[in-house]
Amino acid sequence: MFSCDNARALSRVRRSIALRRGGRSRFRPKCLIGAIEAERLLTGVLNPLEIARVRTTDPYRVIDAITEAMRQDGVVHGFLVALALGEREVLVGRHPIAPTGGRPPGTLAFNDESGIVLCADLGATYSRFAACDLGGAPLSEVSDEIDIAQGPDEVLDWAQKHFADLLTGLGRQESDVRGIGVGVPGPVAFESGQPTSPPIMPGWDGFSIPDWFAAHYDTTVLVDNDVNIMALGEHWIHWRDREHLMFIKVGTGIGCGIVANGAIHRGDNGAAGDIRHIRLAENDSVLCRCGNTGCLEAVSGGRALAQRLSAEGIEAATSRDVVRLVRSGDPVATRLVREAGRNLGQVLAGCVNFFNPGGIVIGGDLAQAPEQLLAGVREVTFRRSLPLATERLRIVPSGLGDRAGVIGAAIMAIEHVLAPDAVDQVIRRGLAA
């Protein structure tokens, strides 16, 4: 344990960082500088400073600020700024830079390999899993199929086996896991990680997914709607220049994730973006699972299209079968997908006029037939939206494809792992040990 005997240097650090936070950076995840240990590398002498609980959106500015503040106090010969998660260092300072006078300076680098996060994008029938480093890059991925309606115990046990296989393949242990991110195809109470009245997930209502994984991992488990994590992943990788974005998943069902002011918007009770039950005109004969008629998902979701194809004697059981038929040139499937695009555009036109997003990203199984689906979406959305609302609007297929969910789940978990409160707790445990 080290003492806290250099408040003056800490004060300089905080003032310097405060001055340097003027511009708004889009860098994420939000990083934190924890314990500063000076004069350790070259001399082996520990000259500790008070733990600096400093939050920022740009770790490189923090590095410069700390280097400058500590140099002004004359305490740095060579230094290591370490934020300990377990036994691995997240920030390491071992690369010399050209001196500017005074004692030799150094630089810091974020160590992405200091831990991993496990990610699961659980769909209605198709799921994807990944193990990612702390920079959000997938190290190993796998996809598989299971019906989410089989219930939480069976599905999560199956998911845990995939997680275990990913860890084994990477030569990592359960102790290396810093967080777990899970997406499910239904509404979620984000604070508790419990699905809330999910219409296509029987047996999942109120089930604590974090508690289930607690038997296997000593880490935080975050759960969100699958389309929210897709929106987060897509925004993180491709759309950080836009503050407002909509991600539309058109697969077995239809869902929408909303990015507002650069962050996921979940609404008051986690129900934001549920466009699937918006009523389409002239479709009152179509009964939805919710009990109403004419809902978007009941008319134009992947399951609905497969059922319509089957009724016409064309073999199709899933949304992926619909895409296969479109790619093979089946005219009936092509017509239905284009019609589904127009129906979706009818709903999105209202969303565009109301929300004014800078981009609409279309993902999910049916987005794998982008020419047919997006043609219908664009046709109606641009025709029925106000010119001002569409002046900068782009409607594009997902750039991440099937990986949007696991990338988003990774970012969700990493932002929690590196949040100030979470890091402070780890540091306190390390100091008390």
Q: Do 141 and 160 belong together in one domain?
A: yes
Q: Do 42 and 79 belong together in one domain?
A: yes
2 assigned to some structural domain? no
Q: Do 24 and 108 belong together in one domain?
A: yes
What is the residue type of 399? G
CA distances from 116 to 27, 122, 178 (A): 19, 19, 6
Q: Tell the burial category of 359 from Cβ atoms under 10 Å away from its Cβ (0-12, 13-18, 19+).
A: buried
| The last residue of a domain, from among 48, 83, 114 | 114
72 assigned to some structural domain? yes
Tell me the pTM: 0.76
Q: Are 293 and 286 in contact (CB under 8 A)?
A: yes
pLDDT attached to residue 424:
64
Q: Tokens representing 255?
A: 């869902």
Nearest Cα to 65, choosing from 28, 131, 18? 18
CB atoms within 10 A of CB 245: 24
Burial letters for 322-343: b for 16+ Cβ neighbours within 10 Å, e otherwise? Answer: bbbbbeeebebbbebbbbbbbb
SS3 state of residue 105:
coil
Show Cβ contacts of residue 275 under 8 Å, excluding neighbours closer than 6 positions: 248, 254, 255, 256, 296, 347, 348, 351
Three-class SS of 238-251: HCCCCCCEEEEEEC
Q: Do 279 and 356 belong together in one domain?
A: yes
Backbone angles phi, psi at 351, to 5 degrees: -65, -40
423 assigned to some structural domain? no
429 assigned to some structural domain? no
Q: How many domains does the chain have?
A: 3
Q: Do 11 and 123 belong together in one domain?
A: no
Range of the domain at 58: 7-114
| The last residue of a domain, from among 49, 84, 114 | 114
Cis check: omega of the bond before 29, within 30 degrees of 0: yes
Q: Do 255 and 305 belong together in one domain?
A: yes
- The residue assigned the tokens 């195809």 is 185
Q: Do 202 and 68 belong together in one domain?
A: no
SS3 state of residue 298:
helix
pLDDT, tens digit only, all 433 positions of the chain:
233 333 443 344 333 333 333 333 333 333 333 333 333 322 332 233 333 333 333 444 444 544 454 444 443 322 333 333 334 444 444 444 455 555 555 555 567 788 899 999 999 888 999 999 988 889 999 999 999 999 999 999 999 999 999 999 999 999 999 999 999 998 999 999 999 988 889 999 999 999 999 999 999 999 999 999 999 999 999 999 999 999 999 998 999 999 999 999 999 888 899 999 999 988 889 999 888 999 999 999 999 999 999 999 999 999 999 999 999 999 999 999 999 999 999 999 999 999 999 999 999 999 999 889 999 999 999 999 999 999 999 999 999 999 999 999 999 999 888 777 776 666 566 556 5
425 assigned to some structural domain? no
Q: Do 389 and 268 belong together in one domain?
A: yes
- Beta-strand relationship, 177-184 and 220-225: parallel
Q: Do 369 and 259 belong together in one domain?
A: yes
Q: Tokens representing 327?
A: 């790619």
Q: Do 122 and 109 belong together in one domain?
A: no
pLDDT attached to residue 416:
87
Q: Do 85 and 109 belong together in one domain?
A: yes
- Beta-strand relationship, 194-195 and 188-189: antiparallel
Q: Do 249 and 390 belong together in one domain?
A: yes
Q: Are 83 and 32 in contact (CB under 8 A)?
A: yes
CATH number at residue 212: 3.30.420.40
- Bridge partners of 35? 82
430 assigned to some structural domain? no
**Cα dihedral 312→313→319→320 (10° resolution):** -140
| The last residue of a domain, from among 114, 131, 149 | 114
pLDDT attached to residue 64:
52
433/428 Cα distance (integer angstroms): 9
Q: Are 345 and 351 in contact (CB under 8 A)?
A: no
